[in-house]
Amino acid sequence: MSSAREPKAPTRPTSRDYRLTMYRTRHDAAVRRLAASLRGMPADIPVRLAKPGSNLFRFGGRDRRPGLPVDGLDTVLSIDVDARTAEVGGLITYERLVAATLPHELMPTVVPQLKTITLGGAVAGLGIESTSFRAGMPHEAVREMDVLTGSGDVVTVCPGDDLFECFPNSYGTLGYAVRLVIELAPTMPTVALRHVRYVTGRELFDGLAEHVDDPEVDFCDGVSFTPCESYVTLGRFTIEPGPTSDYTGQSIYYRSIRRRDTDRLTVADYLWRWDTDWFWCSAAFGVQNRHLRRFWPVPLRRSDVYRRLVALDRRIGLSRRIARARGQRREAVIQDVEIPLAESASFLDAFSRHIPIRPVWICPLRSTTATTPPLYPLTSGTYVNFGFWATVGLADGQADDHHNRLVEQLVIDHGGHKSLYSTVHYDRSQFWRDYDESAYRQVKKRYDPTGRLPDLFDKVVGDNATR
């Protein structure tokens, strides 16, 4: 692996479009401001990006670390329709990115389901969606990236560079992505869906193995509602005119999967189908009650609104106090894990026996690159992502993280990997067995020699984990 190149001289604006020139100037100024702010902070003070939102599920206490300014890092700098690429600020949300690319009949190769996930966050923290069986993860579409490193320099990195390769799953501990050039994929106006039902886990994953090799399929994910009722949803772009469903109103997308064999959505509604009800998690706020739903303003049926409500609840401890008053203890089990396809039926079976959570989201994933990121080594061909987000009751004598530890053991037993956006319970040695410590240390030493940014283990594991 080679190391990063010298920072690129800022590209001179030659665009006919004054607005784009303005955005580039604003972007360059924002990068300088961010770098100056990092360099200006006392070395012993931990830092974080002052992002307006987050999709992490580690709440901890109030974060008192000074925030680095991110204004101006969330714009589209250019879209090259012929080359099918976009050059954007690292803090752009997928909502803005998709809104900018769809008019050109283009989209990011993988669009994570939650609108406020940022491109930089998805590359540094991994991402997955129903195109991942063909396009892998968001970082696989990155052609070039400017990174503000822990040493305060902005470096441009490309595939093959050590920092580039180690960046996925580094969660802002090697540096911050401030500008990215990504590949885009062509779209059509509508997505036609087919929901295929399976009764056993074995049938489900045998079926999935066939679907991911079907060239007629553009999108593939699934939901397991009970151990004997699961669905794979297959999507295909179409230009044929016809009626489309709308799940931003009274109807709820995940419920439609059990009711309908086929469906049609506009491409934008398809990409955001899970955001309106945060998959199914909006039920916790009454949003799925048909009487209450009428009064919940449509613009507020969004994942970032629900997440803010959860953050508020964690801060004031309302749910915890209600559970305690009822003599209960509950554990939040919010995780996404990757399991090799060949082990998936066994994993889901064991999961069903030990963890009382349904529905479970299922999404196949195949990497498109010859190399795999050292911090998320996926080396077994096709994987299946299992996503589960709920609280479960704890019996007397069970530790507060009983079910999360069980999940982590199941992941180890089935040769899988766990993403790090939520709570992590591994001890240090198990953690560094799963995520390649020696590759990480080398890159960390080169780009953050004084440890200005936190260490990955310290950042994501334990009670003191931070954002």
Ligand X SMILES: Cc1cc2nc3c(=O)[nH]c(=O)nc-3n(C[C@H](O)[C@H](O)[C@H](O)COP(=O)(O)OP(=O)(O)OC[C@H]3O[C@@H](n4cnc5c(N)ncnc54)[C@H](O)[C@@H]3O)c2cc1C
- Write out the residues near ligand X by the rule CB under 6 A: 49, 51, 54-57, 90-91, 112-113, 117-118, 120-122, 124-125, 127-129, 171-172, 176-177, 334, 336, 387, 389, 421, 467
Amino acid at 63: D
Nearest to ligand X of 54, 282 (CB atom): 54
Q: Measured between alpha carbons, how far is 298 from 285 in angstroms, rounded to an integer?
A: 14
Name the residue among 333, 281, 331 with its Cα closest to residue 304: 281
Nearest distance from C-beta of residue 239 to ligand X, angstroms: 28
Instruction: Give the nearest distance from C-beta 157 to ligand X in angstroms.
Output: 12
Q: How far apart are CA 94 and CA 120, in angstroms?
A: 10
Shortest approach of ligand X to residue 360 CB, angstroms? 12
Residue 73 has which token pair?
Answer: 């890092």
Residue 159's CB is within 10 A of a number of other CB atoms, namely 16
Nearer to ligand X, 326 or 463 (CB): 463
Closest CB to ligand X among 187 and 422?
422
- 31/79 with CB nearer ligand X: 31
Smallest separation, CB 390 to ligand X (Å)? 10
Evaluate the omega torsion of the peptide bond into residue 186 and state whether it is cis, within 30 degrees of 0.
no
Shortest spacing between CB 177 and ligand X, in angstroms: 4
In terms of C-beta density within 10 A (0-12 exposed, 13-18 middle, 19 or more buried), how is residue 298 classed? exposed
CB of 12 or CB of 435, closer to ligand X: 435
Nearer to ligand X, 69 or 189 (CB): 69
CB of 199 to ligand X, least distance (A): 25
Helix (H, G, I), strand (E, B) or coil at 425: coil
Q: Toward ligand X, which CB reaches closer, 238 or 391? A: 391
Min separation Cβ 171 and ligand X, Å: 4
Q: How far is the CB of 172 from ligand X (least distance, A)?
A: 3
Cβ-Cβ contacts under 8 Å for 361 (sequence gap 6 or more):
221, 222, 223, 279, 385, 386, 387, 388
| DSSP strands (E only) in 18-100 | 48-49, 67-68, 76-80, 85-89
Q: Which of 99, 100, 26 is nearest to 69 (CA)?
A: 26
233, two tokens: 């949803």
Residue 396 is which amino acid?
A: D
- 70 or 192: CB nearest ligand X: 70
Q: How many CB atoms lie within 10 A of CB 399?
A: 11
Beta bridge partners of 304: none
Of the candidates 195, 229, 222, the one whose C-alpha atom is nearest the C-alpha of residue 208 is 222
Q: Which is nearer to ligand X, 101 or 169 (CB)?
A: 169
Query: Closest distance between ligand X and the C-beta of residue 91, in Å?
Result: 6
145 or 234: CB nearest ligand X:
145
How near is the Cβ of 304 to ligand X at its closest, in Å? 9
Nearest-approach distance from CB 118 to ligand X, in angstroms: 3
Q: Are 391 and 439 in contact (CB under 8 A)?
A: no
Q: Tokens 């087919």 label which residue? A: 194
Longest CA–CA span in the chain (Å) reads 68
Q: Where are the alpha helices (DSSP H) in 334-381?
A: 341-354
Shorter beta-carbon distance to ligand X: residue 46 or 189: 46
Q: DSSP 3-state helix, strand, coil percentages of the chain (rounded to 5)?
A: 35, 25, 40
Nearest CA-CA partner of 109 in 144, 83, 137, 82: 137
